[in-house]
Structure 1
């Protein structure tokens, strides 16, 4: 394998034309530069320079290797530039995992702004529930999560994670427009006893929060419809088949036949940005900042 510094020397000779000028450009002495060239000739087994009057010129082998050296040095320069850019420019991949409502309402405008401000950033998005996304974050397969946590049942976050709260919102009961409680300004959750519920799968934050909220009010939940997409839950609510607990951010879009009723004992949900401690890269910082800017606008 060729020594990189010796290839740099050969490239300088090819560019500047003489050993003296190449040495000056590299801030070394001509004798030191000649030593590098002699060692490179030994490495290659070819003469790379030949006399030319009072100076030297590249041999055919020297020109062949110099062309490769120029390509190598261009790649090295590009690598150095990209690494330097990491301190000032936001670039490279950013792998985001988020609950569906955050994908719909928070990410589109934030990612569009990031694309305008940092065209070399390459974001990707995967939606899902905390129970599915958290292992991917911890294994390094995702860089940033937007997770939900319900006030009556906070999400468990394992050690080694950094968090940034983004949204704190009210949760309402979603019922059909012809439901007997639909015209009320507020309802008690226990008043929905006997009403089937649509909810995300067991183990998800929404499901566990619903079960705990109902049981704490003496109601055994009747969760008949396990649907991980909230718009699908609301479609069943609109048809009069179920009720649902729906955070404010997830209430759009909703069918016109759905009514959202605040609860007499308020229930809240929080959306939080989460990443691995020690891995707060410039893309992560930029994305969190863009989300905060979007929410404050």
Structure 2
């Protein structure tokens, strides 16, 4: 019989690639991880790891068992969810959210949950969608709030389900004194965008190219409030979704982008935990919070 905690370590190694990363994520020492994986090898009676320079990698048998480990963890999670419903005891719901959701959705969702599910405990970490979706597969979170832009669909992963929370218009933001009337008028402007590698950065650059110019990106920030303030101060143009506004928008001018694009806000969950009552309550509260969001 395989020990589930050791299977979790193998699963983490398959995702993260190194024993050091597994140890860091699960708050173990690297030697403890190595010892537990060695015990798992004895249980399996086959070699699961092999040297790869100064590191190790999974053998073919190791990859096979890691796939079974992922399914075993899903079954364990599903069983615990059903048992918690039957005894009315709920574990905390761990949520990873992108910055705009942390500011505009989570506070409102918590207010709704306090009324609807006063015994539910929600724990939140703010992180980019790319990281959150990876950590969801590693069982670090129960739910991830992420987004995708037109033409930039995120990779679909087995065992991960998505629930559309709503759609969020994206608009062109310019300084109050800017004479610009459309995107093509901003070919000589300085731009504020998210850092390289973010899906929204790629999407925004493509919008500029479709308008006939390469954007002069002078300012990079993951905090969209910084983009708005740079525009309000007259230093940059930006493309911002409505959800990024938690306060007054009168300090900038908003223009429509070609095609009136909207981004999709979705929640990702593991198939094994989606039907749990606590996760379902959080999904509903987030969707209701997004529907009620009205920037001024």
**TM-score, with length taken from structure 1:** 0.65
C-alpha displacement of 1:90: 6.3
Match for residue 76 of structure 1? none
Question: Matches of residues 177-192 of structure 1 in structure 2 within 5 Å?
Answer: 177-181=176-180, 184=181, 187=182, 189-192=183-186
The equivalent of 1:117 in structure 2 is 116
Deviations 1:156-211 (A, max 9, x none): 34332101111212211000001112xx4xx2x22211111111111112211111
Residue 222 of structure 1 pairs with residue 216 of structure 2:
yes
Number of matched pairs:
211
Residue 245 (structure 1) aligned with residue 239 (structure 2): yes
Structure 1 counterpart of 2:29: none
1:24-59 deviations in whole A, cap 9, x for unaligned?
xxxxxxxxxxxxxxxxxxxxxxxxxxxxxxxxxxxx
Unaligned runs of 5+ in 1: 1-81
Are 1:292 and 2:291 an aligned pair?
no
Partner of 2:266: 272
Question: Which of 180, 187, 201 is equivalent to 1:207?
Answer: 201
User: What residue number does 2:135 align with?
Assistant: 136
**Equivalent residues in 2 for 1:41-190 (5 A)?**
85-87=84-86, 89=88, 91-181=90-180, 184=181, 187=182, 189-190=183-184
Check if 1:260 corresponds to 2:254.
yes
- Deviation of the 1:295 alpha carbon: 4.3
Describe the shift of the 1:88–1:268 C-alpha distance in structure 2 as closer, same or farther (beyond 3 A).
farther
Q: Distance between the aligned counterparts of 2:243 and 2:291, measured in 1?
A: 15
TM-score normalised by length of structure 2: 0.65
Aligned residue number for residue 60 of structure 1: none
- Quote the offset at 1:84 in angstroms: 5.3
Bigger mean CA deviation after superposition, 165-174 or 277-286: 277-286
Q: Which residue of 2 aligns with 1:19?
A: none
Separation of aligned partners in 2, 1:209 and 1:114: 34
- Please say if residues 91 and 119 of structure 1, whose CA atoms lie closer than 8 Å, have aligned partners that are also in contact: no
Question: Is this contact kept in 2: 1:176–1:238, CA < 8 A?
Answer: yes
Cα distance between partner residues in 2 of 1:131 and 1:157? 12
In the alignment, the residues of structure 2 paired with residue 254 and residue 147 of structure 1 have an alpha-carbon distance, to the nearest angstrom, of: 24
Shift in alpha-carbon separation, 1:139–1:216, aligned structure 2, 3 A? same
Q: Which has the larger radius of gyration?
A: 1
Contact 1:89-1:118 within 8 A present in 2 as well: no
Q: C-alpha separation between the residues in 1 aligned to 2:123 and 2:219?
A: 30
CA contact (8 A) 2:163 2:267 kept: yes
Q: CA–CA distance in 1 between the matches of 2:223 and 2:82? A: 41
Q: 1:110 to 1:89 in 2, by over 3 A?
A: farther
Partner secondary structure for residue 121 of structure 1: coil
- CA gap 1:89/1:105 in 2 versus in 1, 3 angstroms: farther
Match of 1:196 in 2: 190
> Which residue in 2 is equivalent to 1:38?
none
Alpha-carbon separation, structure 2, partners of 1:171 and 1:160: 30
Of 200-209 and 86-95, more deviation after overlay is shown by 86-95
Counterpart residue number, 2:278: 283
SS at match of 2:157: coil
Contact kept, 8 Å, 2:176 with 2:253, in 1: the verdict is: yes
